[in-house]
Amino acid sequence: MLRIFQLRLMQELFSAFYNPKNAEEYSFKGDSSQFSFLITSPSLYFAKNPLTHVEYFLQGDKIMRKEYRFLSLEEETQEYPVLLGIKEWKVTYLSREGWKEKWEDKDSLPICLKIAIELEKGEKFYTLFYIPLSKTYGEE
């Protein structure tokens, strides 16, 4: 399960976008316990608006994933656990100035996320997730 979580998150962060048209509402946001961002959804490639807003957060002993699709005026939402048996998790963000506990820059994406997880069994690990900086939705 852990590898699946890591691979999926890596893929989603690689497709993360900064959308200057909706920066106030849909920019990358995060603190030490949760984060959210826009991605392009491969399954919606031919749709008029292939963007999906994704959120990851800790709920009890589960890391949850929530998504909001923007296919029409009616919002479709899915929420489900992606990793179980979590005792603690902490997210930090790499900017050009160094590591931060909170991401508040509405004009850019972090360079990298570091997610440290402690399982209920006592195992501890962390993963670094790189985010390409040059992606802006709507640019040629």
- Sign of the CA dihedral with 81 first, then 128, 108, and 41 last: negative
pTM of the model: 0.80
Helix (H) or strand (E) holding 135: none
> Could you give phi then psi for residue 25, rounded to 5 degrees?
-90, -35
Q: Give the domain ranges of the chain.
A: 2-130
Each residue's pLDDT tens digit, 67-103: 877 644 356 678 889 999 999 999 999 998 999 999 9
CB contact set of 65 (below 8 Å; sequence gap of 6+): 54, 55, 56, 79, 80, 81, 82
